[in-house]
Structure 1
Amino acid sequence: MTTKPMTKTQLVAALAEEMGADKKTASAAIDAVSAVVLREVAAGGAVTLPGIGKIMCRARPERQVRNPATGETMTKPADKAVKVTVAKALKDAVND
């Protein structure tokens, strides 16, 4: 059964209730965490969110890829990808 993901508005409201603070403070907290994660991962680092997981930037080498429409093989230049590793605590909570 698929449910819709929580929106930012819903997340702000839930965080404000959990923190016992107002929505403005909760929104500022979410924005600050997002900014720190974005800045650190864009610089090639990693951020661990305790109980949730680790977000990191991973370099991918140059490689051969195939265009599925034409079957043509081409070289894709090296790039970076964001990788998220889910924490064991979150996996265990989901599987209980």
Structure 2
Amino acid sequence: MNRSELVTAVAQRAGLTQTDTDAVINALGDVLVEAVAKGEAVKLPGLMTVERVERAARTGRNPRTGETMEIAASYGAKLTAGSKLKAAANGS
């Protein structure tokens, strides 16, 4: 499902216009990005949890040359599926 299909499906289910639904999806994305940037977890019970995780510094290897290199510590985003999402994936 791409973005336009998502907007259409949510608009039909919620009884909203596609313009309003698109604005809501944009706002949700903005809130998720801001919260993860601050290090806060966003929890939608039963659906998912999005949180920032820390990656430690490590030694890696350049696949082209085989040369070892230091990879700096960084942050990433982690999405954990909730119970409803897991059940849907398992066909329940």
**TM-score normalized by structure 1?**
0.87
Long gaps (5+) in structure 1? 1-5
Q: Kindly indicate whether residue 31 of structure 2 is the aligned counterpart of residue 36 of structure 1.
A: yes
The one-letter amino acid paired with 1:68 is P
RMSD: 1.1
User: Equivalent pairs: percent with the same residue?
Assistant: 38
Find the residue that maps to 1:45 and give its secondary structure: coil
Where does structure 2 lack aligned partners over 5 or more consecutive residues?
none
1:9 Cα deviation after fit: 1.1
- Which runs of structure 1 show a deviation greater than 6 angstroms over 4 or more consecutive aligned residues? none
User: Residue type of the partner of 2:62?
Assistant: N
Matches within 5 A, 1:50-61: 50-61=45-56
| Length-normalised TM-score, structure 2 | 0.90
Aligned residues: 91
SS in 2 for 1:85: strand
